[in-house]
Structure formats: C-alpha cells, structure tokens
Chains A and B, each alone.
Chain A
Amino acid sequence: MSGDPSTTSAGDASVDRGRRTKLRLNASMIIGAVLILLIVALALVSFVWTPYDPSAVDPAARLQPSSPEHPFGTDKFGRDTLTWIMYGARITLMVGIVAVGIAVLIGTPIGIIAAVFAQYPWGAWLSAVIMRANDILLAFPALLLAIVFAAVYQPGTGPAMVAVGIAAIPGFARVARSGTMQVLGSEYVRAAKASNRNAPAIAVVHVLPNIAGMVIVQASVAFAISVLAEAGLSFLGLGTQAPVPSWGRMLQESQQFLSTQPLLALWPGLFIALAVLGFNLLGDGLRDRFDPKMEARGNG
C-alpha cells in the first residue's frame, strides 16, 4: 500500500532546493531572453533603419576590418557586414517562427490525440500507428529532410522552413503525448471523469494547461535546432538564396577569405551561436520552471 509520501527524508531536505533553483533559473532565463531580444531587436530595427543599403556595393571598401564607418567590416563586394547581420536576423527568426509554428500546430495535437486514443480499446492500435509513424519521421533529421526538399523543389527559404518544421514534428508529438498520458493518468482527471466532464472538456481544462509548459520548452529547443538547420542549409547553398542576406551563407562566403579577413567569418558565426545559445538557455530556464524532475539540475 502506499506509504506516507510526506514523511520521506527527501521531503525534509527539499526545503532549500526549491529556493536555490529559483535563483539559477532566473539567471539562465534572463540571459537567454536578453540574447533573443537582442536578435529580435536587430531584425525589427532592420525594417526601419540599417547603416547601409544591403545591396550597396563599394569596390573601394572591400574586405575592410572594423572601422567607425563599418563597425563589423565589409565583405568581398564592400557591402556593410553589420547591415547584413541585421537583415540575416530576419531570415533566422522567420525560419524559426514558421518551422516551430508548423511543428507545434501539427505535432502537439498529434501527440494529444495519440494519448487520448490510447485510452480506448478501439483507439490503441491507432495510437500505436501514429507513434510508429512518428518514429519513422524521426529517422529523417531536419538537415536531411531539408536537403531532400531542396533537391525536389527549388532550394530556398520556403522549402527549408517547411522541411525543418516537418522534421521537428516528432519532438512535439512525443512531448505532447507523454505529457497528456501523464495528465490523463492523474487522479485529478479521474476526478473530472467522475464529475462527468467529457473528453474535449478534459483536454481543454486539464490537459492543455498542464502540458503547455513542456510544449514551450520543446519550442525553445526546436527554435535553436531550426536556427542551426537554416544556417547549415544556407551554408551548403541549399537554403536562403542570394541576394537575400543570411548568416549561413555569409559564413560560407567568408571561407575564401579565412586567411586574409577572418573577421568575415567571426560575425555571422558569433550571431548564429548567440541565437542558439539564447534559445537553449531560455529552454533550460523554462524546463527548470515547468519540469519538477529537472529541478536542481544545473543549466550552465
């Protein structure tokens, strides 16, 4: 029979753990949020103002180092790198938003439905089929799927976003399913059933609020993955096409000048890393907050 859970020794000692986690959680969440805000701000400002026109070519000012006129230097055509970084932030965020949007909107309902079906004898096999299909989709990593899409359609931002989004679906489906299973198995859902709430009401009132945290954490992680995938694809020339500025392609183009102007690689590389770091840190902070099992686990 179940014992008295409140008399375990862990219960006695857990008092201060919660308090410490809160401190750490704040640090990680704040740094993450600040980094993301920085990139969002770059992207937003680029709509109203940039130091130069992104397509303004200046043969006299090619491959310049940092200077008051060009804080981040210039590229092989003399275009201003800071301007390009600002424009690149747009693509990075857009790919992330669209891809994560696709994955959340498709993956989360799939996971919830699979978990709900699993409760009924008639739905168990359907649930199993959904999750198997999900596992198979998992065998197509984001980058591979994006390459396939680039091969089948034209390489470009659109197919890249869709491919990265599709590849991120299984992650959300899994998180939503395990979260929903947990909620549906809880006593408060038994209580709700005993109170005659129907399945849709339970899903809205109990399941969604309780899995929202996990889905948000997953979204943060997926955002980081999509930033990486977009950069990688553009690096291969299979993502965002010229002349639209993209960090991945800037990095790729910098390769020719590594020995003469390594700064050209530094800036896009730095911003890709900052974006990924920001979303990862935010995800960690949120996870500490939402997932009690992760409590007291360090984040950085």
Chain B
Amino acid sequence: MAENLLEVRNLTITPAGAEASVLHDVSLSLAPGERVGLIGESGSGKSLTAQSVMGLLPSELRAQGTVSLQGFAGNILEAKERALAKMRSDLVSMVFQEPMSALNPLMRIGDQIAEVLRIHGEVARGDIPGRVLDLLASVRMPDPNSARYAYPHQMSGGQRQRVMLAIALANSPRLLICDEPTTALDVTVQKHMLDLISERVAAVQAGLLFITHDLAVVAGVCDRVIVMYAGRIVETGSVAQIFTDPQHEYTRGLLASSDLEATDAHGKLFTLKTALSYAGPIGKAGPNDETGAGEEVAAEDEDEQSSADGPADVREPAPASAGEASIGDGSAPLIDVSGVSKHFRSRGLLLRRRSPVRALDDISFRVASGQRLGIVGESGSGKSTLLNLLSGLDRPTSGHVRVGDIRVESASSSALRSLREDLQIVFQDPFASLDPRMRVEDIVSEPLIARGIARVERLARVEEMLLAVDLDTKAMRRYPHQFSGGQRQRISIARALVTRPQILVADEPVSALDVSVRSQVLNLLTDLVDDYALTLLFVSHDLGVVKHLCSDVIVMKDGHIVESGSTEDIYAHPREEYTRSLIAATPSLAGALASAT
C-alpha cells in the first residue's frame, strides 16, 4: 500500500454552507503505472474526485479526507496553492473534456507548450523550441513545425486535444488524469485519440486515471475500473471482473444498458430495471470489433448473415453508385430525395465574398412507408441540413425532395404546413428544445394549436400522449426545468407525436442522455414507432444506436452519401473505407473486452 502512486482516503466534498455532501467517503488507490478507469454518469462525482487530486477544486467546495501522491509531501487537500502549482504537470497532469475552450485563444500553440516547459525549468531555455517540436510530433500533429505558430481556433477539436496531451505529458508526470477526453470528439477521431493516450502514457511510464461515462471506452484503455454512482464508489475490480461478473446492481444496470447489441426476452434494450436478466457481453462478439482480428470476425459474420438474413440481398440490389441510393421495397416510396444539393453563401458586408459552402452535394435516396432509416455521419456531414430540407424548414439549392405527395423544393406555404403535419421532429438537446417559460401542457399542445384544435380536445390529447410516453399527467402543469434529461426527451417525443404524424424524424435524440436513460428512451421510441406505424428517420453519429433501431442506413460524410443499404449488410460488408473506419472506431463493449482480455 505504501508505494501506491495515488492514495485517496475518505474524500468527502460538501458545498460551502450546505449540509449534504456531493461526494461521500470516497477511497481509491492507484499503483505506479497502473491504468484505472473511473466510471459514472452525470452527477456521480467522478470529475470532482479528479479535481481533488489536481488540487483544482472550486473554492466554494469543502473537501475532507486525504489525497496523497507519491513524491508530494502531505495532503493535497490541505496544501498551499504554491506547492500545488509545483506539483501539477511535474507529478500529475490532466487532459480536460472540452478541447475547444481549454487552450488560451490569444496565444500561439507553440508558446502554450513552451510555457509548461519553462514553468518547471527542466529543459534548458535553448532546447525548448526543439522540445516543443518533439512533443508535437509525439502526439502525431500533422506538420508540427507550422502547428507551433497556429492559434487554437485554427485547429480542429481533435488537434487541440492532441496539443492538450502534449502539454500534459511535457514534463513526464507520474500520473495522467483524463476527464472525458474524447467525449466532445467525433467517433473516428475518438479512436485515434484513445490509442494515442494509451501509447503516450506507456511511453512516459505514467499512471492513468481515466474518467468517462462510456464503459466501452474504458475497457479498451484501462486495467482496472472504479464505478461511481451518486457520489459514492459502488464497485471496483479488473476490467474482466466488472464486465463479466458485476457485483453491484448499478454496475450491472450500466453494463446492460450500455450494450446495444443485447436485448431482453421482449427484444428490448436492457435498462437499469431489467438488467438482472442480462447475460453480459461475453461470447457474442459482434462484427464491429475490428481490433486486429477484423478480417476473421468479418468472415465469420458473413456466413452468419447470409444464412440468417438471406432475403435482404435479393430484395436489395447493390446501388449503382454511392450518390444514388435506393432503399426499401419496390412500391412508391414515401420520401424521395433525388439529386439534392444545398449550398450556403457566407454573406459578407461590402468587401467580402466567399465561395459557397456545399453542405449537401447531389444526395439521392428513397424511404418506403413504415421503414426505419438511420442516417449516420460525423459533425459537418450535412445530416442537420438534410433534416431541415425534409421538414420544409429550408429549401434545396437544386434537386428534388418529395415527401408524400408534396414537392418540398417548390411547395407553397400551405403545402409546407400540411407536410409538417405529417412529419415531426424530436431534437437532440432536451435542454434546448423545450421553451423554458412554457408549461409542459402548452409545449405538447403547440402543434395542435397550429391546427386550430379546440382547447378541451387539445388537453385530452396531450394527456393521452403524456401517458403514452410514460409520464404522469401531473407533469402538465410543470415547467421543463423540473424534469430530468430523459423526461424532457419524453416530453419532446410527446410533442412530436401528438398530431399523429406519419413520419418521425429523430435528430440525435439520445446523444445528450446518460447511458442508463438512453436505453429507456430508445425502447420507448421503438414501441411508439410500432404502435403508431411510423416511418422513422433516425439521425445519429452512433452506429451502435442506429444498428439497434434501424433496418436501413445511410452513411454520410462531407455532404455526400458514402454508402447506403440494409443495416445488417452495411455492418457486415462495408464497401467504403470511411464506413469501415467508422465501424471500427465505434466503441463496443464486447469488442473492447475482447481486446482487453
């Protein structure tokens, strides 16, 4: 025990002036060079624990207990700022969640890296520029030489996070803390970043405390896992132990609801409540664990697929090109998008003139009635623009969009109105998509008001709809801030379905939700799509979610359709390199575990 790198004893954190603590009696330790994952959902206290180790707790929080670090004399919680400053970066470093704001916007990248070398004075002044170059190269920054002179806003999120890693490891600390370092990044970038963190931590022989809400991520990176819930540690164990034999009810629930490939007897995703019957991710390695053995797995899967899902191939001939995708059966499609482009011209005052941004470029696809189509892409792929066109909130620059019998590009405003009666949207952010100053009953009845339905009937339908999304009718008189994220998303779904549309568009509806809530909302969505015989367009960056929910999928990148077809097919035989990398990068429990054990 004595030679532990990090030793946290009975850490309790209480807001100044408050009675109740937000972190209760947390104890954990980390051996030199060990990699520990700290897992929990929002409000679990995992970030507070990390900040305590760095001595970066906000001053309005009172911490009790001891935090000791090898090489640092005394209790970090009681140390003076000056002593802590000397310790930071020298003994312990941190990579934060939000790369967009973690770097000083007014300072060149090179100077920001050089600063951390200068502060600790371990590198001779003359050697600093060379060392900065080495560091940038070590985090595989493209063109490290010119990157030195760039400002943060000129870099992508992934690049900034590389810079953060270079800064964190510049003085070879003994412990690196990563607080959700990849949560704000695109999936493909996330994978590279995780590999890079693993590699660099090994290179400088540091210990790693990796904080995340994502079980799949932690399995690939860490040896040991600590699970936190509501300010307490509920379970600790090796990755294999936690994943195969979770002891605590919450861990089991988290594990079960993280696994999008497992379903219960009713074909539903597991939730915290149904987690008891979850068998674990072992032995059902999916096609998406490209962890070195990708080809074998894919080959294996091919057999499985062709025997189980044979008719899919017959029904669905391979599209002629990536731009022209036809999905669904032969009957007249409900949605027909052909050759659609959307360009945005950035408007400058007087002197500026820029070439247009091509948000969408020659997009074509069809959706049959009752179909569930997933639209997958990373940020900037044009997903949101496409949704705006489909819902008539925007018009294409060229091409045709037909929804039902309405031609969106030339529709009159009354035609657009009737289009919107048939097509409703569930938005991504449950905190932004509900007007904070309206009651739930007014929010849900808004689409009915526009249709001129009388108040009594409106209220009846709102009540019915709230019950359908498993909310109490008491909710009607409340305001959005009185609900949790998952409940808000239910309200959002109720609003979308209250007019009984034919088509439901879900724009990243679960990406802002905690994992345990995510499966509940997804189950609800599946039920409602069945009950109301909806055609579903499900937009997501998460292949796992799409795979569970959708029969067909479109993969988008930079405003183009890269690939499309049945979900099973695309997963089993991705034709395009981009799709392959996307599948490979998507963290999966089984895959991560297979590589960890």
Contacts and interface: CB of A to CB of B under 8 A. Distances in A.
Interface in A149-192: 186-188, 190-192
A1 B347 CA distance: 25
A17 B446 CA distance: 34
B27 interface: no
A3 B22 CA distance: 23
A4 B47 CA distance: 13
Contact of A7 (B16, B96, B183, B451): B183
A3 B97 contact: yes
Given A8-B97, A195-B495, A209 B437 contact: yes
Interface stretch (B237-245, B364-372, B418-426): B418-426
Nearest to A124: B347
B193 to A, nearest CB: 13
A11 to B, nearest CB: 6
A19 interface: yes
A198 B180 CA distance: 41
Nearest to B20: A15
A9 interface: yes
B391 A194 contact: yes
Contacts of A2: 184, 379, 428-429, 508, 511-512
Given A2-B428, A191-B425, A210-B436, A7 B61 contact: no
Contacts of B347: 124
Nearest to A210: B437
B235 interface: no
A20 B22 contact: no
A9 B48 contact: yes
Contacts of A193: 393, 420
Contacts of B433: 186-188, 190-191
Q: Which of A1, A8, A13, A197 counts the most chain B CB atoms within 10 A?
A: A1
Contacts of B47: 7-9, 12-13
Nearest to B383: A1
Contact of B48 (A1, A13, A191, A195): A13
A194 B420 contact: yes
Nearest to B388: A190
Interface stretch (B37-45, B66-74, B522-530): B37-45
Contacts of B60: 13, 16-17, 20
Contact of A1 (B18, B50, B423, B511): B511
Contacts of A4: 42, 180, 183, 213, 511-514
A206 interface: yes
Interface string B185-208: 111000000000000000000000
A7 to B, nearest CB: 5
Given A12-B22, A20-B60, A187-B427, A3 B184 contact: yes
Contacts of A7: 41-42, 47, 97, 180, 183, 213, 514
Contacts of B513: 4
B314 interface: no
Nearest to B429: A187
A195 B420 contact: yes
For chain A, the bracket of interface size reads 35 or more
Nearest to B214: A4
Contacts of A3: 97-98, 180, 183-184
Contacts of A259: none
B384 to A, nearest CB: 10
Interface in B12-31: 15-18, 22
Interface in B443-484: 443, 446-447, 449-451
A243 interface: no
Q: Which of B51, B179, B184, B513 has the most CB of A within 10 A?
A: B184
B420 A196 contact: yes
Nearest to B48: A12
A137 to B, nearest CB: 19
Given A1-B186, A195-B446, A206-B435, A190 B420 contact: no
Contacts of B420: 193-196
B378 interface: yes
Given A1-B378, A2-B512, A210-B437, A16 B450 contact: no
B58 interface: yes
Interface string A1-43: 1111111110111011101100000000000000000000000
Given A16-B17, A128-B349, A5 B425 contact: no
B553 interface: no
Given A5-B512, A13-B48, A194 B428 contact: no
A230 B46 CA distance: 56
B451 A196 contact: yes
Interface of B: 15-18, 22, 41-43, 45-48, 50-51, 57-58, 60-61, 96-98, 179-180, 183-187, 213, 347, 349, 378-379, 391, 393, 417, 420-421, 423-425, 427-429, 431-438, 443, 446-447, 449-451, 485, 492, 495, 499, 508, 511-514, 541
Interface of A: 1-9, 11-13, 15-17, 19-20, 124, 128, 186-188, 190-198, 201, 205-206, 209-210
30 contacts: A1-B186, A1-B187, A1-B378, A4-B42, A5-B512, A8-B97, A9-B51, A12-B22, A12-B45, A12-B48, A13-B48, A13-B58, A19-B17, A20-B17, A186-B432, A187-B427, A187-B428, A188-B435, A190-B393, A190-B427, A191-B433, A191-B446, A194-B425, A195-B499, A196-B421, A196-B450, A197-B450, A201-B449, A210-B435, A210-B437
